Amino acid sequence: MWFLFINLEHPPVWSDNELKAIQSLSLAELKPPPPDPTNLVANSAQAARFGHKLFFDEQLSITGTIACASCHIPTQNFRDLLPKAIAIGEAERRTPSITGGAYSPWQYWDGRKDSQWSQALAPLERPLEHGGNRTFYARYVLDKYKDEYELIFGLGPDLSDIDRFPVHAGPLENLDWNSAWQKMTLQDRDSINRIFVNIGKAIAAYERLILPEPTRFDEYAEALLSGEEITDYSYDEVEGLRLFIGRANCIDCHNGPLLTNNEFHNTGILSSGGEIPDKGRVQGIRELLAEPFNCFSKYSDAPDSCTELSFVRTGPELIGAFKTPSLRTLKPPFMHKGQLATLKDVLKHYNEAPASMIGHNEAKPLNLTLHELTQLERFLMTLETSQASESKWLKAP
Ligand code: HEC
Ligand code: HEC
């Protein structure tokens, strides 16, 4: 009791540098998402409304049961609570949140996609996720959403001739669908690809609107920076914040208002039991450069705007490296394969900084005390959204 009293009497003292760091993490500093010139409808309200419907539409899958929202669950910060996602089958990695994704030049844990629209196409065709194929989706969308589609993207082709446009055709794994795809003319394949890409562009227009909500940390930062009286940020939360921006070096990678540098790092997270170590970013770059829907491709609306892709960082330090996640969507389990069950496990991991199974762990042991680790944990918990959002974009349409 005495302690609490003393701490309230002596508000924490922050240095100028610490105050700057706190401000830099505050949500008030978040600028509008960077433009995406590769998607002409990125900022179209009509496209976002259309994308909103597509994101929640279970018919947009071969089984009629899987939507993007089945794994990116709005009430769970657009995640699920599984170590590895499950739809038609089990995915290789954990579902990341899509909140604030428009700020990142790279999508996926290994960054194998360089735009939100290009990313959105992959789950539709993956057998484990939505499991469908290109002609199936093109026909479904032009049929069910004809007016909305044509208002945004113009008249779609007539797909009624099933010899020209088979019911099921697409270039990926399924052999029957692939051979049907190979029999189509290049021009017809291109028409289907355009519709497919437009589905991704509408979904991306919607995803750009999914942004984090202010949390207790932001309220604290705002009060602190404007000199108001602060009542509900505890001593341990304050000291946890001090460690985060100071001795624990978390801010090296978890920086800016989204608490991520959107870069790739090897932090020595072990593989899940019995699996070969995941190569992470080095493999992601290979796939990104071979990607038919990347920024350079003819389906990009600005193939000459690809600064990020042109100067993509490569190097041996990217072996076993994964994208730094935002800390504004924390939910267990943590890390790219859900390897760590609790925040305590995460902090113990950083404190010990074990050698990596593949590549080199960039982080050094922290040698913090148990009490300091608890303080860091308390601080991280103040990044949880405190109030239910009123935004219609966070609900099913
Ligand atoms: C089976 C569950 C599942 C479904 C269905 C699903 N996703 Fe995902 N999503 C994942 C997983 C798992 C990852 C991470 C995979 C990886 O990094 O290798 C991911 C990654 C992403 C990312 C990258 C986020 C980041 O921070 O890098 C975005 C964006 C995304 N999904 C959007 C979508 C959209 C749009 C749809 C619907 C078209 C969709 N997802 C359908 C599980 C799913
Ligand atoms: C060298 C860059 C770097 C530093 C320093 C760093 N992190 Fe991370 N952090 C990452 C990366 C990369 C991941 C994802 C790693 C993975 O999944 O393999 C991550 C994941 C996390 C996660 C899991 C988030 C989720 O959604 O799964 C938490 C929590 C976290 N870091 C907190 C911290 C804290 C607290 C510190 C300081 C003690 C810290 N990080 C220091 C790069 C870093």
What mean pLDDT is predicted for residues 255-279? 91
* Lowest mean pLDDT segment, chosen from 205-209, 328-332, 357-361: 357-361
Write the pLDDT tens digit of every residue in 179-207.
Answer: 999 999 999 999 999 999 999 999 999 99
pLDDT surpassing 70 at residue 11: no
pLDDT-derived band at 5 (thresholds 50, 70, 90) equals very low
| Ligand 1 pocket, residue 356 CB under 6 Å | no
Is 285 within the bounds of a domain?
Answer: yes
Please give the tally of structural domains in the chain. 2
**Do 228 and 196 belong together in one domain?**
no
Of 12 and 48, the one with more pLDDT: 48
**Do 166 and 253 belong together in one domain?**
no
User: What contacts 44, CB < 8 A, 6 or more positions away?
Assistant: 152, 205
**Do 280 and 158 belong together in one domain?**
no
Give the pLDDT confidence score for residue 139 in this predicted structure.
98
pLDDT surpassing 80 at residue 388: no
| Ligand 1 pocket, residue 52 CB under 6 Å | no
317 Cα to the center of ligand 1, angstroms: 25
d(CA 139, CA 167): 8
Between the alpha carbon of residue 269 and those of residues 49, 244, 251, 335, 362, the distances in Å are 39, 19, 18, 8, 11
| Ligand 1 pocket, residue 119 CB under 6 Å | yes
Of residues 235, 257, 254, 234, the one with CA closest to residue 244: 254
**Do 112 and 71 belong together in one domain?**
yes
Of residues 316, 200, 337, the one with CA closest to residue 270: 337
Of 174 and 47, the one with more pLDDT: 47
Of residues 183, 305, 323, 312, the one with CA closest to residue 260: 323
Please answer whether residues 157 and 185 qualify as being in contact, where contact means their C-beta atoms are separated by less than 8 angstroms.
Answer: no
90 Cα to the center of ligand 1, angstroms: 13
pTM: 0.96
**Do 241 and 130 belong together in one domain?**
no
Atom of ligand 2 nearest to the CA of 343: 29
Give the pLDDT confidence score for residue 274 in this predicted structure.
76
Between the alpha carbon of residue 159 and those of residues 108, 139, 194, the distances in Å are 33, 7, 13
**Do 258 and 126 belong together in one domain?**
no
Tell me the ligand closest to 344's alpha carbon: 2
| Ligand 2 pocket, residue 29 CB under 6 Å | no
Is 144 within the bounds of a domain?
Answer: yes
| Ligand 1 pocket, residue 334 CB under 6 Å | no
d(CA 232, CA 62): 50
Could you list the residue range(s) of the whole structural domain that residue 233 is in? 2-32+214-292+319-394
Give the pLDDT confidence score for residue 276 in this predicted structure.
85
Please answer whether residues 240 and 384 qualify as being in contact, where contact means their C-beta atoms are separated by less than 8 angstroms.
Answer: no
- Whichever domain contains 52, its CATH number is 1.10.760.10
Write the pLDDT tens digit of every residue in 55-97.
Answer: 999 999 999 999 999 999 999 999 999 999 888 888 889 999 9
User: What contacts 347, CB < 8 A, 6 or more positions away?
Assistant: 368, 373, 376, 377
What mean pLDDT is predicted for residues 299-308? 96
| Ligand 2 pocket, residue 335 CB under 6 Å | yes
